[in-house]
Amino acid sequence: MMNPRKLIAKTPLHLTILLFAAIWIIPTLGLLITSLRDPASIAGSGWWTVFPKLFSGGQYSLENYVGVIFTEGLGRSFLNSLFISVPATAISTFIASFAAFGFAWMRFHGRTILFMLLVGLMVVPLQMTFIPILPIYAKLKLAGTFPGIWLAHTAYGLPLTTYLVHNFMAGIPKDLFDSASIDGASPLMTFWRIVIPISVPALASVFIFQFLWIWNDLLVALIYLSAKPDVAPLTLTIANLVTNRGQDWELLTAAAFVSMALPLFVFFSLQRYFVRGILAGSVKG
Amino acid sequence: MEDGTAERERPQRVVRSLGTAFGRLVLKTGRAVYGWLRSIRWRSWAFVAPALVLIIFFLVYPTVMTVVRSFFGRTTSMFGAPYVGLENWHYVFTNDVMLTALRNNALWAVLFTICTTGFGLVLAVMLDRVKYEKIAKSIIFIPAAISFVGASVVWKFVYAYRPASLNQVGILNGLVVALGGEPVGWLLQRPWLNNILLIVVGIWMWTGFCMVILSAAYKNIPKQLLEAARIDGANEWRVFRNVILPLLAPTASVVATTMIVQVLKVFDIVYVMTNGNYSTEVIANRMYKEAFNYFNYGRASAIAVVLLILIVPFMILNIRRFAAQERGR
């Protein structure tokens, strides 16, 4: 048991943390509760009025979700989001792991300079790239297509993903490579048979990180897909909903929660990898 | 006559000797190129080539072109715009909306960076002292996993406003009314309050990120160090100020740099919540409007370059840090 004096001394600490936790959780809680109420009660009273009878049935339903998924086209957008994020993440992780290995363990002229360029490009604003690329995309008929946005996301993500995987691969003990090359393994074999299996945890972190980044992206989708609503991801559809149906909270809250469901699931089930990815990203090796 | 033929032949001779010289040059260059080609480690390049091609096409080439484009005028087509010199640049630094955007970006940069890094630091240290650390951390960290669009809807609902005659649905106005006040149209309170309320959304999203990194760094500090200071009679504040803070400073500076780079590019929150109306414009949203609503690619390019210029110092800082880290390997 804690002695009372210590408990009193720690009260401000607990209260501060409680305040933070409240501010961090109440907005999302309000969104969740509202998304489950019927439109008339949403417009008639604040969501916090459910608290006195929080668990009494009859006041919640999934009707708003049915509405946004089937009539507002959010179901289609959910699939679009998946169909954009999964291949784009897979392609970029694949290409990044090759490049990371090249930069970490192969010798060639200009390696250091190129890698520094890569580090520099990590922070280049994407706004610098849209205007020259769009006409090329139009000519190649890539605008408004899935392959077009896969390529764009892959390229935009490459500096950071390559950097993260490189940080991990550069830490692999050199002896492993020496014994492999004595055994006559080519770099490609060393890469496939030794480096990739060792790097699985790091690759998983990068994959999750990149996946969430693409899933949550609005800007790139806005630029390369905006003309075509049938390929729009969740973020784009919801942004349009906010513009066109800004006061229909039963739609907006349910829609927002649909877009948050997968990231939250990923976050709670794979938190370990997610956090590891973030830690690897802070420039400290 | 003879002189004449000689005169006529001389150019031919010159041409012939030039020809041989040229031939030799070609041979020599050929050999050099061949030697160079042989010396290139193709197998090494093969690993990095796909990434390099994509990066050059999607990042390097367009960045150069955008800088060039910023000196050309408006056209609906991408090319063939007239050269206008510094006209776009004049616009960028004198137009009222752009000045508002620059001012707001500065406000975002200061407030967002200080609060995310500061709260992250305080939470990292505080949560280490309680038993429910894990769950509290999860709560603070959750917003980092969702999209800016999702977060914008969450907070637009928090700030929702309805006339005083109706029941409030946004919790902030619900609170104000419960305390006996008049409901406020929060996002219309220009120029400061609405901007600050937008920044709050950003802080809510990114504090968890800062906390996770700073917490990892904090847990690496040997606890004997803190104990030693306490035994020497230092109170908790002085332990924090004189021991913890200096030890966490390098990590905090990395975190703060990351935050500044993020916040200079802020777009989604503003685009979704106010679209830059009511004096909440920011650089990235202005760039989007100029390019994709008004099709003024020259101006949009200049605005994008402003963003790049603001970020370049941090780019250099990152490269320096990386170089130092490489030397340390």
pLDDT in tens, A223-258: 999 767 789 999 999 999 999 988 899 999 999 999
Nearest to B134 by CA among B194, B219, B35: B219
Ordered by start, the domain boundaries in chain A are 66-281
pLDDT at A89: 96
Report B:26-45 residues touching A (Cβ under 8 A): 40-41, 43-45
Taking 50 as the pLDDT cut, the residues of chain A under it are 283-285
Between chains, do B48 and A279 touch, taking CB under 8 Å as contact?
no
**Does B312 score more than 60 pLDDT?**
yes
Nearest to A203 by CA among A104, A97, A280, A119: A97
Question: B198 to each of B205, B209, B257, B267, B268, how far by Cα in Å?
Answer: 11, 18, 21, 11, 11
- Which CATH architecture is the domain A66-281 placed in? Orthogonal Bundle (1.10)
Identify the weakest region by mean pLDDT among A145-154, A187-196, B6-15, B158-167: B6-15
- B224/A contact by beta carbon, under 8 A: no
For residue B82, cis peptide bond before it (omega within 30 degrees of 0)? no
pLDDT tens-digit map of B185-229: 999 998 899 999 999 999 999 999 999 999 999 999 998 888 898
Q: What is the CA radius of gyration of chain A?
A: 24
Helices A4-35 & B171-178 angle (0-180, nearest 10): 120
Report B:281-300 residues touching A (Cβ under 8 A): 284, 287-288, 291-292, 297, 300
Between chains, do B51 and A99 touch, taking CB under 8 Å as contact?
yes
Between chains, do A259 and B147 touch, taking CB under 8 Å as contact?
yes
Locate tokens 């439109």: which residue? A39
Considering CB atoms only, which of B149, B254, B284 is closest to A127?
B284
- Report residue B116's pLDDT band, with 50, 70 and 90 as the boundaries: very high
Residue B255 with chain A: CB contacts under 8 Å? 282
Cα B221-B225-B226 angle, rounded to 5 deg: 90
pLDDT at A242: 93
Burial B127-141 (b: 16+ CB within 10 A, else e): beeeeebeebbebbb
**In whole angstroms, what is the distance from residue B33 CA to residue A59 CA?**
78
Other beta carbons less than 10 A from residue B81's beta carbon: 18
CATH says B87-328 is which class?
mainly alpha
- B317/A contact by beta carbon, under 8 A: no
Residue B147 with chain A: CB contacts under 8 Å? 215-218, 234-235, 259-260, 263
Task: Confirm if B98 and B303 have CB atoms less than 8 A apart.
Answer: yes
Model pTM score: 0.89
- Report residue B9's pLDDT band, with 50, 70 and 90 as the boundaries: low
Report B:61-80 residues touching A (Cβ under 8 A): 61-63, 65-66, 69, 77-79
pLDDT at A283: 43
Q: Give the long-range contacts of residues B265-268, CB within 8 A, separation 24 or more.
A: B265/A125, B265/A126, B265/A127, B265/B307, B265/B311, B266/B105, B266/B108, B266/B112, B266/B202, B267/A218, B267/A219, B268/A218, B268/A219, B268/A235, B268/B147, B268/B148, B268/B149, B268/B152
Residue B55 with chain A: CB contacts under 8 Å? 118, 121, 155, 158-159
pLDDT at B248: 94
Between chains, do A217 and B147 touch, taking CB under 8 Å as contact?
yes
Residue B216 with chain A: CB contacts under 8 Å? 279
Q: At a CB cut-off of 8 Å and minimum separation 6, what does B8 contact? A: none
Distance from CA of A3 to the nearest CA of B (A): 15
* One-letter-per-residue 3-state SS of B225-244: HHHHHHHCCCCHHHHHHHHH
Helix (H) or strand (E) holding A210: helix A196-216
Nearest CA in chain A to B286: A127
**Which whole number is the average pLDDT over B233-239?**
87
- B60/A contact by beta carbon, under 8 A: yes
Residue A95 with chain B: CB contacts under 8 Å? 50-51, 54
Nearest to A283 by CA among B205, B112, B256, B309: B256
Residue B265 with chain A: CB contacts under 8 Å? 125-127
Q: What is the mean pLDDT of chain B?
A: 90
pLDDT at B4: 52
pLDDT at B79: 64
Ordered by start, the domain boundaries in chain B are 2-62, 87-328
Other beta carbons less than 10 A from residue A200's beta carbon: 10
pLDDT tens-digit map of B53-99: 999 999 999 999 999 999 998 875 656 788 888 999 999 999 999 99
Kindly provide the ipTM of the predicted complex, given to two decimals. Answer: 0.91
The strand pairing partners of B83, in sequence order, are B72
Residue A112 with chain B: CB contacts under 8 Å? 326
Between chains, do A187 and B47 touch, taking CB under 8 Å as contact?
yes
Is residue A194 classed exposed, middle or buried when 0-12, 13-18 and 19+ CB atoms within 10 A define those classes? middle
pLDDT at A285: 33
Q: What sign for the dihedral angle of Cα B289, B292, B296, B297?
A: positive
